[in-house]
């Protein structure tokens, strides 16, 4: 019961980010059909960049499914990374990446606070992220794809 309460809390807290829909201006490059859903303003920022960049060959949002063992859920689960992208780098090489966009705070082991609910949420988020990202690293390594975490530190660097 405690785990279910924590999962509900995790879902409720995740809804605090700006969400909406994005229609690609260059749909021929987008692997999704129709309108895409962004789950944060940071994702929207990346969608807009990928859509208008000339070096992008193709891209998609949540188009890759990676199975992983979730200790939080106690079963196998599916992870849909935020972005799949294929682009030409400055040397003309074609690069394929899977990108996850997260606040830097969610990429580090959480610090304990006085609020138990916050501690539960932060701990479950961290555990879930580590399991997803380990599965993504393995998935990418097996396919010669790069896995990248983007935080506000990379997205909004000087």
> Catalytic residues, which ones?
43, 82, 102
Between CA 98 and CA 80 the distance in angstroms is 10
b/e per residue, 56-83, with b = 16+ CB within 10 A? beebbbbbbebebebebeeeebebebbb
What is the secondary structure of 22-76 as a DSSP string?
Answer: E--SSTTTBSS-S-EEESSHHHHHHHHHHHH-TTEEEEEES---EEEEETTTTEE
């Amino acid at each position: 019961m405690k785990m279910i309460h924590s999962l509900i809390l995790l879902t409720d807290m995740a809804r605090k980010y700006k969400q909406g829909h994005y229609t690609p201006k260059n749909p021929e490059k987008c692997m999704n059909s129709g309108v895409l859903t962004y789950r944060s303003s940071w994702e929207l920022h990346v969608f807009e960049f990928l859509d208008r960049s000339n070096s992008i060959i193709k891209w998609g949002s949540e188009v890759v499914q990676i199975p992983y063992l979730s200790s939080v859920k106690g079963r196998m689960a599916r992870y849909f990374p935020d972005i799949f992208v294929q682009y030409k780098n400055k040397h003309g090489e074609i690069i394929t990446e899977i990108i996850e966009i997260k606040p830097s705070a969610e990429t580090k082991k959480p610090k304990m606070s006085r609020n138990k609910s916050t501690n539960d949420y932060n701990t479950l988020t961290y555990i879930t992220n580590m399991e997803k990202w380990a599965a993504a690293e393995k998935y990418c390594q097996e396919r010669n794809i790069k896995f990248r975490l983007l935080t506000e530190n990379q997205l909004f660097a000087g």
